[in-house]
Structure 1
Amino acid sequence: MKDTIIIGVGNMLFKDEGIGIYASEYIKQNYQFGEGLEIIDGGTLGFKLMAYFQEYKNVIILDTVSIDDEVGSIFRLPSDVLLGLGKYRKTAHEVEIVEMLEIVSVLDSYANVTIIGVVPQDIQSVEIGLTKLMEEKFPLFIETSLKEIESLGFKLTKRSDISVEDIVKSLIGSYNGSHLTRIPNEEDFTHEVNL
């Protein structure tokens, strides 16, 4: 059985919904860590993530959580708590994560799964990037995630300081509409092409 995997989950097309993916990539690009720790972008893989629940001793999922609390609140939700949170399941991947846990819990061996989740401000707007409030909470989200990783015996050393904005741009080429300043809009084309 492999040791530990960090999985960033979410959908980058819906504003704060991408924070788990951004956080996992931020840690991967800014920190050095030893063997036994793997970091991946789980995106919207859904039930395909179940293989990780069976292959690893520890699975840490970075994600948003639909908990009725103050926006920006950060939660640590271990497997046993997740299995008891019926009303927690509001988004598609939240439903899938809990259902996967329920399925693997009947097996002899499965991962110790923990979600580090943040209550989002906006997961409905179709825009790549974070709201201002999530940008402010991002360092604490990272710090909480790093503490969870370190609690499993891993030592992380900061090697660079790439911003979340630059991380997102490296993944998808835009951040909060920044691509609009690079790509001309239709009205910018004032000449006609004669065929």
Structure 2
Amino acid sequence: MEKKTLILGVGNLLLKDEGVGIHVIRALEKETLPAHVTLMDGGTGGLHLISWLTGYDHIIMVDATLDTHPPGTVRLIRPKYASDYPPLMSAHEIGLRDMIETMILTGDLPEVHLIVVSAANLNEVNMELTPKVEASIPEVIKVIRELI
């Protein structure tokens, strides 16, 4: 039996690369996915998403991170605790960590994969991704397809 899977893109579309998770969801909406997979635009995330996340066996989150890797670098992380999450340095970071901690405490945390894309710019107001981050979207989709 296939795992009921949620692909959750989080981020702020108004802050350039910060919105990469949402751009990935929009790209996946144009593709054919297995019936056991659901897509969700999680916006800026947070505790309000918990009720939407229950009932899934597997959650794949896609988000931007500001780190030492070159912009557009795609990494797959299997976090077990909120402290395992990389520094996302975005407006929704605290909400996502709180959400994961709450799900751990309630015993409702399913299998989680986090796909992070190293961002070039998280602060400029613009709805377009930088070229290197935009070019990473096919790689993110490839990783997602391998996980589902």
The CA deviation string for residues 41-64 of structure 1, in whole angstroms up to 9 with x for no partner, is: 111242111223432111111111
Q: In the alignment, does 2:91 pair up with 1:92?
A: yes
Which structure carries more helix by proportion?
1
TM-superposed CA distance for 1:112, in Å, is: 1.4
Cα 1:110–1:79, aligned 2, differ >3 Å: closer, same or farther?
same
Structure possessing the higher relative contact order (Cα contacts under 8 Å, 6 or more residues apart) = 2
TM-superposed CA distance for 1:26, in Å, is: 0.6
SS at match of 2:59: strand
* Structure possessing the higher radius of gyration over alpha carbons: 1
Output the CA distance in 2 between the equivalents of 1:7 and 1:138: 14
Output the CA distance in 2 between the equivalents of 1:136 and 1:36: 27
5+ residue gaps, structure 1: 150-195
| Alignment root-mean-square deviation, CA | 2.0
SS at match of 1:133: helix
TM-score of the aligned structures, taking structure 2 as reference length? 0.86
Q: In the alignment, does 2:24 pair up with 1:23?
A: yes
Residue in 2 that maps onto 1:5: 6
Q: In the alignment, does 2:114 pair up with 1:126?
A: no
Output the CA distance in 1 between the equivalents of 2:86 and 2:34: 37
Residue in 2 that maps onto 1:70: 70
* Preserved CA contact (<8 Å) 1:89 1:98: no
- Equivalent pairs, count: 146
Residue in 2 that maps onto 1:173: none
Runs of 4+ in 1 over 3 A off after TM superposition: 84-87
* Preserved CA contact (<8 Å) 1:79 1:101: no
Output the CA distance in 2 between the equivalents of 1:83 and 1:32: 32
